[in-house]
Chains A and B, each alone.
Chain A
């Protein structure tokens, strides 16, 4: 079975996000009253697995092994059957 996984990797709260700060300043310069910007990265992957449970387990493994660095990143994901 094939599953579509959408993984979002973001910086842990409390860790400064220079990319977000720079984007916030650009938005303020454009005249928007923006208080805070945090940047995340989204990965969409198609995965082969036996069940939804296995697909979720594999996605979690993928996050821990490559997509996120547990020192600075949090991640969350959604998995759906294709």
Chain B
């Protein structure tokens, strides 16, 4: 498929605040982007799109739990369609609040397909603070549609901005679920030290206390991806915090590789 025929949908709800940056980032990759309110998406459906993005923000004021209200709205109105969309191999991306939505919706980690109840949670950061800064991430799985332009073990820099990003699994099934995530290669990004060594849940390398330093996971098929860091905030080279100190800044920020991987995947597979 030609790049200009790739259709991306960035969904927004009341309280979403990263929709425009995400739209601009995708548009700069030469694809067509629709920015849709949830209600419009419910009317229009997902069938037209190759990539659907739930962007960052504070949907519905983070009431009940971050992402819960939006997730349950989608679950109640659009679940069969989301299920078909995912089975069709199209891409679903959740960034920050979007990741919380996908977990609350049961679309991630989805060990056995979509689940009615969440199998994981994004809990309050261990230090009870809103962490808004750049972090180092280690690429664990480059064989997903979202990471194909990265190599395993590569250290990338992308900022986080969240108060509830501590990835937790049910305590009584933590070992079992972690094994499943590893076996299925569902752990895509982990918080790391600048040299790529694991953060070992130590602050500040791991900003929130996530189990196994998990920053982003995908479903077993790899076409649904959720991550706490914001690739759209590390997309253009001029978004880098230290570009003025560089002799020659890179062509892109590291977030570019994630969004470009997704677009390239669609071009090659649809």
Contact = CB atoms under 8 A, between A and B. Distances in A.
Interface of A: 11-12, 14-19, 21-22, 64-67, 69-72
Contacts of A71: 118-121, 168-170
B171 interface: yes
Residue picked from A16, A22, A67, most chain B C-beta under 10 Å: A16
B128 A72 contact: no
Contacts of A16: 126, 209
Interface residues of B, number: 22
Which secondary structure characterizes the binding site on chain B? Answer: loop
Interface of B: 64-65, 68-69, 72, 104, 117-121, 123-128, 168-171, 209
A38 to B, nearest CB: 13
B128 A69 contact: no
Contacts, number: 46
Nearest to A43: B64
Nearest to A22: B128
Contact of B128 (A18, A64, A65, A66): A18
18 contacts: A11-B123, A12-B171, A14-B171, A15-B168, A16-B126, A18-B125, A18-B126, A18-B128, A19-B124, A65-B117, A66-B64, A70-B117, A70-B118, A70-B170, A71-B121, A71-B169, A72-B123, A72-B168
B121 A18 contact: no
A49 B43 CA distance: 32
B120 A18 contact: no
A19 B128 contact: yes
B163 to A, nearest CB: 9
Residue picked from B104, B117, B124, B171, most chain A C-beta under 10 Å: B124
Given A18-B127, A19-B128, A22-B128, A69 B104 contact: yes
A54 B190 CA distance: 45
Given A17-B124, A18-B128, 10 more contacts: A12-B171, A18-B126, A19-B128, A64-B117, A65-B72, A65-B117, A66-B68, A67-B64, A69-B68, A71-B169
A21 B171 CA distance: 20
B124 A69 contact: no
A11 B168 CA distance: 12
A21 B129 CA distance: 12
Nearest to A39: B124
Contacts of B126: 16, 18
Contacts of B125: 18
Contacts of B128: 18-19, 21-22
A5 to B, nearest CB: 15
A15 B104 contact: no
Contacts of B120: 71
A69 B118 contact: yes
